[in-house]
């Protein structure tokens, strides 16, 4: 047996990694996303005028994009690795409720608001780990495993909060996450940091190469020495942790923790990832594409809101865009085969 088969760090995936480094195809795909975003901005300016083009509205778009964007970065890893997670919204809700209980806030008063942040991230990571164990070791289909977590996490959040909204009273937490250094909201800076970290992890580390390999061909990855099951657990735990971070961000925006937070986040996150160019079948993922996908959907929602279009129309538009994106992915995949 060769050294590359014995040492996972030396292993080479059966298919070459296809991410943000995928050459001209990746550049063309990202250019298409940029053009789509520019078109949306033009439509916004034409239809809403200064209401869309104002600095305040730009910051509003970025604030909205930040929360779902952090979840989408984590979702990119899971989908690239060949999985799916329908429970992200419920995990965000559970993490926000857990971090705003009377006990957690009392602890934050004693040792600092970091306790609230830590508890939210830990709750998210634990939920993600449970998903990963069910999928990897329990051999439960990701759709079913995460659907069960969706129901369980949302239900547990309702039980803990007694279906009431929990108000954040820790002023240090509110002051830190409500700050705007250089006019940029802290949650936007957090989104930027998570995006950069996600890009580096996916494209410049062994962890990222293993993720491409596991998503492209799990059996070949196993034969190359990659512990596929353990890596799958890591991917879901990573997504859970990003849900915890998103929970902290939405807590800072709303100053509350509630079981209704994160409603339909799974739809928005999956949509942004797919629009960005990550294959639903796994093996190809792009953090840059996901970033543009998030901005496109957030800008679309903003344009609809400024023009007084209903949320139902927004949902229909998102659904149509997702279907078109998947059909285009299949067409590109068929051309390559």
Quote the pLDDT of residue 316.
Answer: 84
Residues linked to residue 150 through DSSP beta bridges, in sequence order:
none
What CATH number does the domain containing 118 carry? Answer: 1.10.3470
Please check whether residue 63 lies inside any domain of the structure: yes
Please check whether residue 28 lies inside any domain of the structure: no
Range of the domain at 288: 51-332
Average pLDDT of span 190-206? 97
Q: What is the pLDDT of residues 4-54, one digit of tens each?
A: 434 444 344 444 444 444 455 567 677 888 888 998 899 999 988 889 989
Buried b (16+ CB within 10 A) or exposed e, 173-210: beeebeeeeeeebbbbebbeebbeebbebbbeeeebbb
Quote the pLDDT of residue 70.
Answer: 98
- Give the H or E element holding residue 257: strand 256-257
C-alpha to C-alpha distance for 89 and 253, rounded to whole angstroms: 16
3-state secondary structure of 284: strand
Q: What is the pLDDT of residues 263-298, one digit of tens each?
A: 989 989 998 999 898 988 899 999 999 999 999 989
pLDDT band for position 142 (cuts 50, 70, 90) = very high
- Cα 192 to the center of its chain, rounded Å: 13
- Cα 296 to the center of its chain, rounded Å: 15
Please check whether residue 239 lies inside any domain of the structure: yes
Quote the pLDDT of residue 12.
Answer: 42
Please check whether residue 40 lies inside any domain of the structure: no
Quote the pLDDT of residue 20.
Answer: 47
pLDDT band for position 1 (cuts 50, 70, 90) = very low
Q: What is the pLDDT of residues 81-122, one digit of tens each?
A: 999 999 999 999 999 999 999 999 999 999 999 999 999 999
Please check whether residue 190 lies inside any domain of the structure: yes
C-alpha to C-alpha distance for 77 and 285, rounded to whole angstroms: 7
Q: Report the relative pairing of strands 256-257 and 166-167 from DSSP bridges.
A: antiparallel
Answer yes or no: is pLDDT of 314 > 80.
Answer: no
Q: What is the mean pLDDT of the chain?
A: 88
Number of domains in the chain: 1
- Residue pair 92/262 in contact (Cβ under 8 Å)? The answer is yes
Q: What is the pLDDT of residues 162-179, one digit of tens each?
A: 989 999 999 999 999 999
Name the pTM for this structure. Answer: 0.88
Please check whether residue 4 lies inside any domain of the structure: no
Quote the pLDDT of residue 132.
Answer: 97
Quote the pLDDT of residue 211.
Answer: 97
Please check whether residue 165 lies inside any domain of the structure: yes
> Given CA atoms 261, 267, 271, 273 in this order, what sign does their dihedral have?
positive
Please check whether residue 237 lies inside any domain of the structure: yes
């Amino acid at each position: 047996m060769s050294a590359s088969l014995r040492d996972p760090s030396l292993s080479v995936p059966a298919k070459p990694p296809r991410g943000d480094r995928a050459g001209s195809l990746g550049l063309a795909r990202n250019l298409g996303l940029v053009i789509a975003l520019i078109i949306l901005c033009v439509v916004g300016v034409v239809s809403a005028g200064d209401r869309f083009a104002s600095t305040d509205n730009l910051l509003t778009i970025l604030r909205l994009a930040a929360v779902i964007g952090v979840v989408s970065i984590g979702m990119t890893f899971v989908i690239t690795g060949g999985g799916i997670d329908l429970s992200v919204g419920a995990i965000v809700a559970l993490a926000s409720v857990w971090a705003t209980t009377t006990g957690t806030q009392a602890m934050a008063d004693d040792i600092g608001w970091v306790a609230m942040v830590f508890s939210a991230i830990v709750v998210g990571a634990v939920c993600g780990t449970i998903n990963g164990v069910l999928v990897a070791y329990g051999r439960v289909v990701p759709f079913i495993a995460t659907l069960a977590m969706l129901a369980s996490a949302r239900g547990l959040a309702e039980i803990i909060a007694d279906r009431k909204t929990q108000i954040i009273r820790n002023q240090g937490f509110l002051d830190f996450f409500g700050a705007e250094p250089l006019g940029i909201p802290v949650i936007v800076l957090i989104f930027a940091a998570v995006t950069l970290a996600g890009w580096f992890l996916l494209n410049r580390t062994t962890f990222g190469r293993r993720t491409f390999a596991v998503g492209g061909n799990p059996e070949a990855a196993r034969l190359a020495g990659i512990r596929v099951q353990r890596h799958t657990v890591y991917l879901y735990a990573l997504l859970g942790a990003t849900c915890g971070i998103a929970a902290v961000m939405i807590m800072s925006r709303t100053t509350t923790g509630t079981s209704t937070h994160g409603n339909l986040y799974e739809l928005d996150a999956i949509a942004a990832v797919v629009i960005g160019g990550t294959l639903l079948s796994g093996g190809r993922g792009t953090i840059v594409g996901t970033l543009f996908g998030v901005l496109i959907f957030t800008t679309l929602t903003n344009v609809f809101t400024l023009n007084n279009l209903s949320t139902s129309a927004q949902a229909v538009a998102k659904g149509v865009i997702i279907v078109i994106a998947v059909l285009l992915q299949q067409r590109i995949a068929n051309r390559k085969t």
